[in-house]
């Protein structure tokens, strides 16, 4: 019985390895994007908290 051509096997293996590589790179990009988004939301929360604290400090100092 005839076996597959070695070059065909090599190309099939390379194609599969590229699929795995692309899947990994995509997952890393998604992970980086989510991390950046969460960091951005955290920065916004910190800045809003600082603004509120600054406003409350001004209001209480004005009355005092």
**pLDDT tens by residue, 10-38:** 999 999 999 999 999 999 999 999 999 99
Residue 44: its H or E element: helix 6-63
Higher pLDDT, 4 or 1: 4
Q: Measured in whole angstroms, how far is the alpha carbon of residue 47 from the centre of its chain?
A: 22
**Residue 51: strand, helix, or coil:** helix
pLDDT category of residue 62 using cuts at 50, 70 and 90: low
pLDDT category of residue 40 using cuts at 50, 70 and 90: very high
- CA dist 31 and 20 (Å) reads 16
- CA dist 11 and 4 (Å) reads 12
């Amino acid at each position: 019985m005839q076996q597959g051509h070695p070059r065909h096997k090599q190309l099939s293996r390379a194609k599969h390895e590229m699929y795995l590589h692309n899947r990994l790179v995509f997952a890393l990009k998604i992970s980086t994007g989510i991390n950046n988004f969460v960091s951005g939301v955290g920065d916004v929360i910190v800045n809003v908290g600082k603004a509120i604290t600054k406003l409350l400090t001004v209001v209480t100092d004005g009355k005092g």
